[in-house]
Amino acid sequence: MDVKQAIFERRSVRKFKNNPVEEEKIIDLLEAARLAPTGSNTQSGRFIVIRSQEMRQTVAQTSHDQKWMAKAPLYIACVADIRARIAEGEFYVDELSSPHEVKQCIRDVAIQAEHIVLRAQELGLSTCWIGWYTQEEIRNVLGVPQDKYVVGILVVGYGYETPSPRPRKSLDEIVHYEKW
The binding site for ligand FMN (CB under 6 A) comprises: 11-12, 14, 63, 66, 128-132, 152, 163, 166
CB of 120 to ligand FMN, least distance (A): 13
- Considering the complex, state which of residue 23 and residue 131 has its C-beta at the smaller distance from ligand FMN: 131
Q: How many residues does the chain have?
A: 180
DSSP state for residue 80 in the 8-state scheme: E
Helix intervals (H) in 37-123? 53-62, 100-122
Angle formed by the axes of helices 135-142 and 53-62, nearest 10°? 170
The CA angle 83-48-72, to the nearest 5 degrees, is 145
Shortest distance in whole angstroms from residue 6 CB to ligand FMN = 13
Smallest gap from Cβ 52 to ligand FMN, in A, equals 20
Chain position whose Cβ is nearest to ligand FMN: 131
How near is the Cβ of 11 to ligand FMN at its closest, in Å? 4
Between 129 and 160, name the residue whose CB sits nearer to ligand FMN.
129
DSSP state of 152: E
